[in-house]
Amino acid sequence: MAKPIQMPALSPTMKEGKLVKWLKKVGDKVSSGDAIAEVETDKSNLEVEAYDDGVLLQIVVAEGDLAQVGAPIAYVGEKGEKVEAGSKPAAPAKAEAPAQPAEAPKAPAPAAAPASGGDGIPVLMPALSPTMKEGKVVKWLKKVGDKISSGEAIAEVETDKSNLEVEAYDDGTLAKILVDADQTAQVGAPIAYIAGKGGKVSVAAPAPAAPSAPAAPKAAAPSPAAAPQKSEAPAAAPRQASGEGRVRASPLARKMASSQGLDLAAVHGSGPLGRVVKRDIEAALAQGPAAAKKAPEAAARPAAPGSRPAPKTLPISTMRKVIAQRMSEVKPGVPHFYLTVDVEMDAAMKIREEAKALESKVSVNDIVVKAVAVALRRSPKMNVSLQGNTILQFATADVGIAVAIEDGLITPIIKDADQKGLQAISTEARELAERARKKALKPDEYTGGSITVSNLGMYGIDQFVAVINPPQAAIIAVGAVADKAVVRDGQITVRKILTVTLSGDHRVIDGATGAEYLRELKNLLEHPMRLLF
């Protein structure tokens, strides 16, 4: 009778192993003690030995696949012997994808929304940020009976990040308002109905304003798989219509894109079903001429010229997966670790004073943001984010800046901060912070990035520990620059010291990786001329 070769437990914490390669092939003679396969565990790569003599009859787990500890990976028996049908296990589980990872909140298909068969077209509460679950209608910009054109703003909605306008996607007349001002509605719920020419709405008023149970369970944090698509994939597939591959866009957005020579295929849509709307065109135009350059043959290309490189999706190794599991057992959620270093800022402060003499406003935080971005570019292992069972490796150095607002905190993103000068970073940071406090940021301005800078130095705080903003993998906490006594060449001297603390996500970043990054950051801040090269 054929005997199974099982996936052994090659380490105390091993729950599954990945078949790296087979050292024997079907039909080869095998002796007890022979190494037949190489397996990747959570600790190292080890060989699996046979415990019986015979012939390798069948390989159950192919190279690159996973198998649970104790599961058969192959069968050994006499030559010509057949493996019994009942003894063949089901295919081993591949990298355990989380059960249907939560997607970014998205509106259901508009065609299915009207419940009564009336001719009303629903206006749905859109997902205006990756973490948005419900929105509050601040005010209606149109009243019942007003004529509405596709692409026209009809309401202002308060999200968990900022206040944004909701646009109509059809022409007609505003026939019914379901959610009054100061009321809330779940993402995807109807907030109003538009009637076509002469059309009437006959719907049983759905009551979206009261918080209702979501249609499907959602993750507490932003969806791992969906968040990067919103912030990093400029040519996301969901924007295309199902039939002809046409980019979904409102008429107003098409008109604006056409007049500005903007390629719609290169614009990320934030409307329902990935539709490109007015605010997306405005955001694309704000990025400059490179983003606005029209590309007639864009449909045949994966990305438009001048677009930012998309992040790479890397498979998570068995070792990294177990580290993530073990760290999450000790510290549920995002398992933080902390590293602190003192930085001498004398040289950096001189640059700030020189900039001030030139009537250029450059703050300590601007210098830190620049250094954080350059260090990130030089430390690619830090520029990552855990997305389910994969690791997202970013190709750009986008840095978040924590901004305190009346209702809490938001982190606008300075994109490509490593490529920008201090004056450009200073101007952009002030402009983003000002609009953040007015709740006027667009979704693409506060999503993305892999690291954030949180600075409490202006409050006189010397040192603190910051909490990571998922799905980012790290955050830098910056205190005040203060005169402190240090020992140099056996002598006590006074230097301007800045204390910097790194909080890292231990599921994807190890302590040594974080330490190397902090060392690079310290060198850049202590020798700021290196920021120019």
**Helix orientation angle between 364-378 and 511-526, rounded to the nearest 10 degrees:** 130
The tokens describing 53, both together, are 């003599």
Contacts 24+ apart (CB under 8 A), 80-85: 81/1, 81/2, 81/55, 81/57, 82/2, 82/57, 83/2, 83/57, 83/58, 84/1, 84/2
Residue 510 annotated as catalytic: yes
The tokens describing 171, both together, are 């022409």
Strands, E assignment, 149-259? 153-158, 163-167, 172-177, 184-186, 190-195
The tokens describing 247, both together, are 């980019």
Residue 336 annotated as catalytic: no
The active-site residue, picked from 280, 336, 505, 506, is 506
The tokens describing 6, both together, are 């099982």
Q: State which amino acid sits at residue 66.
A: L
Measured CA to CA in angstroms, residue 507 lies from 323, 329, 340, 467 at distances of 6, 11, 19, 15
C-alpha dihedral (127, 242, 268, 285), degrees to nearest 10: -120
Q: Cα separation of 235 and 254, whole Å?
A: 16
The active-site residue, picked from 52, 416, 510, 527, is 510
**Helix orientation angle between 251-260 and 278-286, rounded to the nearest 10 degrees:** 20
Which helix (H) or strand (E) covers residue 499, if one does? strand 491-505
- Name the residues annotated as catalytic: 506, 510
